[in-house]
Amino acid sequence: MATLFFSFGGLFQVSILLVNAIAVLSEDRFLARTVGWGSSTQNEPAFGGGLQDSASVKSKLINLINSVRTLMRIPLIFINALIIVWAVAFG
């Protein structure tokens, strides 16, 4: 286990685990209630309003979490399946 962080495969597995952790966060159960980071609390610009450069770190983190949950849902299924097959085949 100590060598997990010192190899390229270990870093890849750790990064996939972190993306998995972000992807499974429930907005209704955890983000909105516990932390107060629901997407409804975020100020979205109106159509054609453009994004502001002075957006807060909180709103950027909310956008990152929502983007990861939206874009990585299907690829994570295949990546996780490949990691499981690799772990079963090669230990």
Query: Is residue 2 assigned to a domain?
Result: no
First-to-last C-alpha distance (Å) of the chain? 13
In angstroms, rounded to a whole number, what is the distance separating the alpha carbons of residues 17 and 13? 6
Query: Does 30 reside within a domain?
Result: no
Residue 12 lies inside a defined structural domain of this protein? no
pLDDT at res. 89:
93
The domain in which residue 78 lies consists of 54-91
Residue 90 in domain: yes
Q: Is the residue at 64 inside a domain? A: yes
Q: Which long-range contacts (CB under 8 A, 24 or more apart) does 53-60 make?
A: none
Q: Is residue 61 part of a domain?
A: yes
26 part of a folded domain = no
Q: How confident is the model at residue 70 (pLDDT cuts 50, 70, 90)?
A: confident
Q: Tell me the C-alpha to C-alpha distance, in Å, between residue 38 and each of 43, 47, 55.
A: 11, 21, 16
Say what the pLDDT of residue 79 is: 92
How many domains does the chain contain in total?
1
For residue range 21-58, what is the model confidence (pLDDT) as tens digits? 888 876 666 666 566 666 554 455 555 555 555 577 87
pLDDT of residue 82: 92
